[in-house]
Structure 1
Amino acid sequence: MELSSSGVLVARCILGACSLPLVFTYPLIRRFTCWPQAYLGLTINLGALLGWAAIKESLDYAIILPLYTASICWTLVYGTIYAHQDKEDDLKVGVKSTALRFGDMTKYWISAFAAACIGSLALSGYNADIAWPYYLFLTTAAAQLAWQISIVDLSNRSDCNRKFVSNKWFGASVFAGILFGLLVS
């Protein structure tokens, strides 16, 4: 949906204002829900919507909603792996997390979120008419997620941290796919 420049400014302000309650309440959310990683995803990934509106001066929902969904799902993957480092401490202090919620089923849950992430990124790329290199790099990104999920030792803090940090390669692969996909287009 194309907007006038004043409409874009209004949309950016509304999106930015919508993020404020999420940002302010995030530190407390772990006391109330076992899904703080989802809340984190909703909060930090609003930047994708704001960035799109700022650069493209439009709100193309067919592109940004799958992108936002993918970003939230990715946050659930890496956030849950990260949360497994703290699960013993979380139990002691009485806070909640997806690591505690998913327990022994964590790898199944984060595999589903990883699949939803990749599928949503593919849909967003398709709707944005990004060329074939995007999908080549997206395959690399999917392999990185599959690798980390399949071999992470969720009972080993240092291994969880290494897999969490390895997500930089996922992000780099998606970025490279967007870059080269747009250069070829």
Structure 2
Amino acid sequence: GFKQMKTANLICTFFVFLFCLGTWLLYLPCTWSIGLAAEPGCFPDWYMLSLFGAGAVLMRGAGCTINDMWDQDYDKKVTRTASRPIAAGDISTFQSFVFLGGQLTLALAVLLCLNYYSIALGAASLLLVITYPLMKRITYWPQLALGLTLNWGALLGWSAVKGSCDPSVCLPLYFSGIMWTLIYDTIYAHQDKRDDALIGLKSTALLFREDTKQWLSGFTVAMLGALSLVGVNIGQTVPYYTALAAVGAHLAHQIYTLDIHRPEDCWDKFTSNRTIGLIIFLGIVLGNLWKEKETDKTKKNIDNRIEN
């Protein structure tokens, strides 16, 4: 009985871990994309939002399992990750393979609910999911690889609603998500930089060092520029641009007050990024509902002109 209880406990720990911040960071770009694809004046498709929510939980879980399998030897040497189930030896490599198989099977079931274009697009992301954990051994830009992986939903959400991608919206949206990941994951990497340097792992934190804030400021400008382009290309309205201003202020405050030498501060700044993703989503939804108001106004103006 004790062994079963221990296993059950570990599985519960795993699932609590899945509903954490990482799931949000994967899910939010999907919500932006689904929100932007909604018809003017309409709320986003709730069915798609819930489907992608389930997909995000499963794929985030699969990503963590793959990451922990690749990294078990490194994780043992890093203070923060030594207690991870696979690194700690609580779960064997075989058990983690079985667990991963289950996660990917369920994720596939979610993916098969989408149109053919989106099934192919979603399947293509698996290559990124599998190779991302290896990047910190090869390049100082693993955060870029994570950005490419975590923000795939910016492409997939739109195609799931519309049947294919509109490059004028999807590409700048994807790019802005990648810039956002470079911001929060560089901050995150500053927590582990001492351990990483000792065991030979690379990160943007080790690359940027004392220039981190300048780089983060650059990424912020690029992110807001890309989101503005999205807005212009899709005819977004006042609430959307108000949300972008709020995001700019939030990021400016994060960067200005960031202390890269205090891991607790890095963690606090990192976790505050969920708010940023939610502000953008809110801006997209309200901006889209505002369009209806503007359309009505235009219609009234046209009617008045015809009467006169």
The question of a shared fold, defined as TM-score above 0.5 by the shorter chain, is answered with yes
Report the Cα distance in structure 2 between the residues aligned to 1:29 and 1:58, rounded to whole angstroms: 30
Task: Determine if the alignment matches structure 1 residue 33 to structure 2 residue 139.
Answer: yes
Determine the C-alpha separation between the residues in 2 that align with 1:89 and 1:128.
Answer: 45
Contact 1:144 1:169 in 2 (8 A): no
- Residue 58, structure 1, aligned to residue 200, structure 2: no
Match of 2:49 in 1: none
Task: Tell me how far apart the structure 2 counterparts of residues 116 and 83 of structure 1 sit (CA, whole Å).
Answer: 21
Per-residue deviation, residues 5-62 of structure 1 (Å, max 9, x unmatched): xxx9443233223211111111111100110000000011111111110012231100
Q: Tell me if the contact between 2:179 and 2:220 (Cα under 8 Å) persists in the aligned partners.
A: yes
Q: Which amino acid aligns with 2:189?
A: A
Structure 2 stretches lacking a partner, 5+ long:
1-113, 292-308
Moved over 4 A (4+): none
Select the residue among 187, 193, 198 that pairs with 1:87: 193
Contact 2:172/2:229 (CA < 8 Å) preserved in 1? yes
Structure 1 residue 23 corresponds to structure 2 residue 129: yes
Letter in 2 for 1:179: V
| Secondary structure, aligned partner of 1:34 | coil
Superposed CA RMSD in Å reads 1.2
- The 2-side partners of 1:128 and 1:89 are apart by 45
Match of 1:180 in 2: 286
Which structure would you say has the larger Rg?
2
SS at 1:30 equivalent:
helix
Aligned counterparts of 2:248 and 2:161: Cα–Cα separation in 1: 27
- Report the TM-score when normalising by structure 1: 0.93
**How far apart, in 2, do the equivalents of 1:95 and 1:47 lie?**
28
The alignment covers a number of residue pairs equal to 178
> Which 5+ residue runs of structure 1 have no aligned equivalent?
1-7
Alignment identity in percent? Answer: 51
Determine the C-alpha separation between the residues in 2 that align with 1:59 and 1:48.
10
Query: Which of 150, 155, 158 is the matching residue for 1:44?
Result: 150
**Code of the aligned partner of 1:61:** P
In the aligned structure 2, how far is the partner of 1:119 from the partner of 1:149? 18
**Equivalent-residue separation in structure 2 for 1:11 and 1:104 (angstroms):** 44
